[in-house]
Amino acid sequence: MTDAIKIDVWSDIACPWCYIGKRNLENGLAAASVDDDAPRVEVTFHSYELSPDTPVDFEGDELQFLSDHKGMPREQVQQMLERVTGVAAEAALQYRFDLLKHTNTVKAHELLHFAKAAGRQHEMAERLMAAYFTEGRHVGRIDDLVELAAEVGLDPAAVREALESERHLADVRADQQQAQAYGITGVPFFVIDGKYGVSGAQPAEAFAQIARQVWAERQNPVPAAS
């Protein structure tokens, strides 16, 4: 049996395009999954912090954060948020920047590694992004993260111990070092089978196409030149 295609995704919980890219990837893979010879795919999420210097409890709204962080006028930031909200809606995601609580995401990344070890990384990534972008939940404090982890079936006490002890912080840093080695400077970034790089929240059709293409290459490898 042909091995599954491996898709490694570098993203941040607080990246609006990452949630859109995640949903488009899922929809693209779902479209390809009905093929007669459907590609088998394994997706793994990796840590990337867009703003590692952000405080856990940022005083201000998203407009203020982006205005200060990017040095953009509030009116321009507002237009940018309206645009990404519209793109998100096309992926059936209802962004609520008016509710969003900007925060440091390193603990959320630690939680994703804990969830990965427990076989629940995909569920945890979805829960964190939905909580952040559509529900106005806080995803930077341990208490809030423990609650969200429990909602996807993870043991609250074990999650709390892992986050308080920073057990998975080294895993987060390893992901970031790998991103640096790959030359990744923005997310979402998708590495397919360790040889193809796809940057940005591509349409679902693009993800379906690349999955089919890589699967076909697996089925019919090009012979090495003699």
d(CA 196, CA 95): 30
Q: Is the pLDDT of residue 225 over 70?
A: no
Q: Is the pLDDT of residue 226 over 70?
A: no
188-223 pLDDT per residue, tens: 999 999 999 999 999 999 999 999 999 999 888 766
Helices 74-90 and 16-32 pack at an angle, to 10 degrees, of 20
8-47 pLDDT per residue, tens: 999 999 999 999 999 999 999 999 999 999 999 999 999 9
d(CA 58, CA 51): 12
Q: What is the pLDDT of residue 75?
A: 92
Q: What is the pLDDT of residue 130?
A: 98
Give the phi and the psi of residue 120 in degrees, each rounded to 5: -125, 25
Q: What is the mean pLDDT of the chain?
A: 95
Query: What's the burial of 140, exposed, middle or buried (CB within 10 Å: 0-12/13-18/19+)?
Result: buried
Tokens of 94: 């209802």
128-159 pLDDT per residue, tens: 999 999 999 999 999 999 999 999 999 999 99
pLDDT tier for residue 72 given thresholds of 50, 70 and 90: confident
Q: What is the pLDDT of residue 68?
A: 84
Bond before 188 cis per omega within 30 degrees:
yes
Q: Which domains does the chain have, with CATH numbers?
A: 5-219 (3.40.30.10)
**DSSP class per residue in 88-150:** HHHTT----TTT------HHHHHHHHHHHHTT-HHHHHHHHHHHHHHS----SSHHHHHHHHH
Percent of the chain with pLDDT over 90: 88
- Average pLDDT, stretch 162-181? 98
What's 83's DSSP letter? H
Answer whether 0.85 is exceeded by the pTM.
yes
